[in-house]
Amino acid sequence: MIKNIFIMKANTGELIYYKAYEDIFNVQMTSSFLSAIFSFVKQTLKTSEISEIEVGVFRFIFEIERIKTDELLFALFTDRTDNLVELRNQLMEIKDQFLEKYDSSLIENFDGEISKFHDFEKNVEYILEKSKQLVSEEIQKDLIMIFKELHTFSSFVVSSALLTQTGRVIVSYLKPSVLSEIIRLLEGRFLTGNYQINELISLEDFGILNLVGIDENFISVVQFKSNCPFETGLIIGKKFSQRLRKLIC
């Protein structure tokens, strides 16, 4: 869960926009802390690239954008167990909409008056609200019927799921350990710039895993027994994803 959102000048620590969903800490002290981290990474490690930092059970997630002589730091403060891919996707959209909404000269000549950026809250709420409900309750019921049919279709099928490309669970019958492995896979691909999965089949300790990109938003997942032929898994996975596509696309 997102607890705080920061937009600030990375070099000076000047806070431009701030949104608190939980009042956990002093805002000014935290912005100074984030600025100090950025300066340390830049001066000591000779890079301005910083993606996330874990602090106990919490995590800071960063996006940085250069605007002429300034560098803007966009940050989310969240629980460490939250879906990193989905949060990163939301932060990137926050960054893109902020840069589109405000002229660079307003940011360059920032005089400390954060009220100029208060109306950005509408954008933030839209971005976060948009991710809450991706399919209706009616479609959800139809999805469950398709899943039940899949599980009786072949003795090779162990379990299945419908996820977003960012790893958010829509429907899942997977064991938590298997789901966690898939989320980690998506996080790893996302961090290397592979934002979408088209098709993937692999042999894992828990069986054969088939992931098929339904579109730019969703992924179907089918877990098969280890003795399932790969060709059979591919055929079943594709037919399953096609049925889901007709329903949700």
40 CB-side CA count, 13 A: 6
Residue 12, both tokens: 């000076």
Distance, CA of 21 to chain centre: 18
According to the model, what pLDDT value does residue 47 have?
53
∠ CA 181-211-139, rounded to 5°? 105
Q: How far apart are CA 150 and CA 201, in angstroms?
A: 18
pLDDT of residue 196: 84
pLDDT 10s digits, 39-87: 776 666 555 567 778 878 888 898 888 887 788 889 998 887 777 878 8
Provide the sign of the torsion angle of the four alpha carbons 58, 192, 88, 96, taken in this order. positive
| Mean per-residue pLDDT, 122-137 | 81
What is the reported pLDDT for 9? 85
Nearest residue to 76 via CA among 174, 85, 162:
85
Q: Which of 108, 58, 104 minimizes the C-alpha distance to 79?
A: 58
Higher-scoring residue by pLDDT: 249, 124: 124
Domains, in order of start, for the chain: 2-130 (3.30.450.70), 137-248 (3.30.450.30)
Using CA atoms, how far residue 88 sits from 91, 116, 167, 174, 181, in Å, is: 5, 26, 11, 24, 18
Q: What is the mean pLDDT of residues 197-204?
A: 91
- pLDDT computed for residue 221 by the predictor: 96
Q: Which two tokens stand for residue 152?
A: 């009786």
Tell me the per-residue pLDDT of 137-191, one tens digit each, with 9 for 90 and over.
Answer: 788 889 999 999 999 999 999 999 999 888 888 899 999 889 888 888 887 777 7
Predicted confidence band of residue 222 (pLDDT cuts 50, 70, 90): very high
Distances in whole angstroms, Cα of residue 110 to Cα of each of 106, 122, 146: 6, 21, 54
Give the whole-angstrom CA distance, residue 77 versus residue 101.
23
Q: In angstroms, rounded to a whole number, what is the distance separating the alpha carbons of residues 90 and 86?
A: 6
Position 133 scores a pLDDT of 65
* Count of Cβ atoms closer than 10 Å to residue 105 Cβ: 10
Residues 197, 189 contacting (CB under 8 angstroms):
yes
